[in-house]
């Protein structure tokens, strides 16, 4: 305990210096989706590699077809190795006019309820979160001269644009990235005083469906009433995808869905998340999901079919009286438990085929699917991490699922054979991807202390 207390004290004593380093990182405009910022992405990769070398890591900046990947390693012969993943790229800043101060000029701010915050693009997603981990490593070096476990740090620069080059990189560097456990910090807390561990993630499958009919746009006066309208067909298909109880009607859609254990469902019910509480901040009040499920189940442990966009025909100003030749919908499926993206794809194609009229054609386009992920509830590492968070925050962490998808976690399981603990310190009001993004100073400080406790326990 004396060693642990000394390391935690080093975090406290070094907070100002840690903030200075974080501000230097945040000043780099590493927007991965904008080719004009390619040099900034490289600068961010070099910055992180330099920090890792200062911490005694062997660090390499790997060139990819896109932005670089940084890998840092310690090799001390420790009995366990952890793989830490994060990203140095950030979202675009538009609309710039809504920022109270320039997005790459980090500053300390204060929320209306008095919380101190770090304000800048990337403050929470993901530079501030990455630095909580690196600063924990720094505290170990300062007080013990070594880390309690060997660590591999993997930081990519394309998370905000879909990580197109990461799967290939993982496959090519499988040996270098081998570990006993992976850690990901790109998640959040239940509330400002209650930490959480994300123990499951929904998988995802992207689809685009185009319905084609006539070989050209048709005059709606001359052909209306006789010619098939692709927008009508597409709307019918989309409407038929859910029943009156909010269930998805695709054949076999729920066949592989694993039911939530009753004790977990009871624990989630006790969290008291109502439809009104969840939806009111976005101007809604009534849940549209499966009628027999808790709201928290609907958003975390149940699969979904969502239409992300629909277009076809004339959408300009004024009128243009046509029957369009084609109409398109962009669709995403969030998958859970043992659902196979390929099986969902086949079920969707069969569902559409049963609803398309004989004189229309369905054209499909699919992205690469990602399976859902779940940490085994009996995991000893999960137990250790939970105890560490409770020791730091004074309250037991909530173990929850996430409705979102982090494909790299599934790739770690499939390509590296390693499970992942998702532990982050972001908050719901951090304005991630929005103007005036922030990260609570407490999240940064106690997040760093939390990683000290977690790494010490994993040894």
Reading the chain (459 residues) residue by residue, the pLDDT tens digits are: 679 999 999 999 999 999 999 999 999 999 999 999 999 999 999 999 999 999 999 999 999 999 999 999 999 999 999 999 999 999 999 999 999 999 999 999 999 999 999 999 999 999 999 999 999 999 999 999 999 999 999 999 999 998 999 999 999 999 999 999 999 998 999 999 999 999 888 889 999 999 999 999 999 999 999 999 999 999 999 999 999 999 999 999 999 998 888 888 898 899 899 999 999 988 999 999 999 999 999 998 999 999 999 999 999 999 999 999 999 999 999 999 889 999 999 999 999 999 999 999 999 999 878 888 888 888 999 999 999 999 999 999 998 888 777 778 888 988 899 999 999 999 989 999 999 999 999 999 999 999 999 999 999
Would you tell me the crossing angle of helices 441-458 and 2-13 to the nearest 10 degrees?
A: 150
Question: How much is the pLDDT for 173?
Answer: 96
CA-to-CA dists, residue 304 to 116, 279, 351, angstroms: 37, 17, 15
Cα–Cα distance measured from residue 333 to residue 303, given in angstroms and rounded to the nearest whole number: 7
Provide φ and ψ at 132, rounded to 5°.
Answer: -60, -40
Q: Residue 104 corresponds to which tokens in the numbers above?
A: 């790459």
Tracing tokens 């109880």 back to the chain, one arrives at 245
Cα–Cα distance measured from residue 81 to residue 79, given in angstroms and rounded to the nearest whole number: 7
Domains contained in the chain, CATH given: 2-201+373-458 (3.40.630.10), 203-257+303-366 (3.30.70.360)
Q: How far is CA 385 from the centre of its chain?
A: 20
Cα–Cα distance measured from residue 233 to residue 323, given in angstroms and rounded to the nearest whole number: 12
Question: What 8-state DSSP symbol labels residue 379?
Answer: -
Pairing assessment for the beta strands 196-201 and 398-402 based on DSSP bridges: parallel
Provide φ and ψ at 354, rounded to 5°.
Answer: -75, -10
Question: What 8-state DSSP symbol labels residue 414?
Answer: I
Cα–Cα distance measured from residue 383 to residue 60, given in angstroms and rounded to the nearest whole number: 33
Cα–Cα distance measured from residue 432 to residue 439, given in angstroms and rounded to the nearest whole number: 9
Question: How much is the pLDDT for 1?
Answer: 66
Q: Residue 114 corresponds to which tokens in the numbers above?
A: 């008095």
CA torsion through residues 37, 434, 332, 253, sign:
positive
Question: How much is the pLDDT for 76?
Answer: 94
Question: How much is the pLDDT for 217?
Answer: 97
Question: How much is the pLDDT for 287?
Answer: 95
From the list 387, 413, 419, 377, the residue with the least C-alpha distance to 260 is 377
CA-to-CA dists, residue 345 to 358, 370, 447, angstroms: 22, 12, 40
Q: Residue 231 corresponds to which tokens in the numbers above?
A: 């927008």
Residue pair 271/287 in contact (Cβ under 8 Å)? The answer is no
């Amino acid at each position: 305990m004396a060693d642990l207390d000394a390391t935690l004290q080093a975090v406290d004593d070094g907070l100002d210096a840690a903030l200075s380093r974080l501000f230097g990182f945040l000043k780099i405009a590493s927007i991965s989706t904008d080719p004009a910022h390619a040099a900034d992405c490289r600068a961010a990769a070099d910055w992180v590699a330099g920090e890792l070398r200062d911490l005694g890591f062997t660090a390499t900046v790997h060139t990819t077809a896109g932005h670089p990947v940084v890998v840092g390693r310690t090799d001390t012969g420790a009995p366990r190795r952890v793989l830490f993943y994060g990203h140095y790229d950030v979202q675009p800043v538009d609309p710039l006019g809504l920022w109270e101060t320039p997005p790459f000029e980090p500053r300390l701010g204060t929320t209306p309820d008095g919380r101190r915050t770090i304000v800048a693009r990337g403050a929470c997603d993901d530079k501030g979160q990455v630095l909580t981990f690196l600063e924990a490593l720094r505290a170990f070096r300062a007080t013990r001269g070594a880390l309690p476990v060997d660590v591999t740090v993997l930081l990519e620069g394309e998370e905000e644009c879909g990580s197109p080059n990461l799967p290939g990189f993982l496959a090519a560097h499988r040996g270098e990235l081998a570990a006993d456990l992976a850690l990901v910090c790109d998640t959040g807390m239940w509330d400002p005083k209650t930490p959480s561990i994300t123990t499951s993630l929904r998988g995802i499958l992207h689809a685009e469906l185009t319905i084609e009919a006539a070989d050209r746009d048709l005059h709606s006066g001359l052909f209306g009433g006789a010619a098939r309208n692709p927008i009508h067909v597409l709307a019918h298909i989309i409407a038929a995808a859910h029943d009156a109880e909010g269930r998805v009607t695709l054949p076999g859609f729920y066949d592989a869905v694993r039911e939530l254990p009753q004790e977990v469902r009871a624990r989630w019910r006790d969290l008291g998340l109502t439809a009104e509480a969840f939806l009111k901040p976005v101007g809604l009040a009534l849940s549209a999901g499966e009628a027999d499920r808790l709201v928290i189940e609907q958003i975390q442990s149940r699969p979904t079919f969502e239409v992300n966009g629909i277009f076809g025909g004339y959408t300009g100003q004024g009128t243009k009286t046509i029957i369009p030749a084609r109409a398109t919908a962009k669709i995403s499926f969030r998958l859970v438990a043992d659902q196979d993206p390929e099986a969902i794809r086949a079920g969707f194609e069969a569902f559409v085929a049963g609803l398309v009229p004989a004189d229309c054609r369905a054209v499909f386009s699919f992205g690469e699917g990602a399976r859902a992920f779940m940490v085994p509830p009996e995991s000893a590492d999960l137990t250790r991490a939970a105890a560490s968070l409770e020791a730091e925050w004074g309250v037991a962490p909530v173990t929850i699922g996430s409705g979102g998808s982090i494909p790299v976690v599934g790739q770690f399981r499939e390509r590296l054979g390693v499970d992942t603990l998702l532990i982050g310190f972001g908050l719901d009001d951090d304005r991630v991807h929005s103007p005036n993004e922030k990260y609570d100073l407490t999240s940064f400080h106690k997040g760093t202390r939390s990683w000290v406790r977690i790494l010490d326990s994993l040894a």
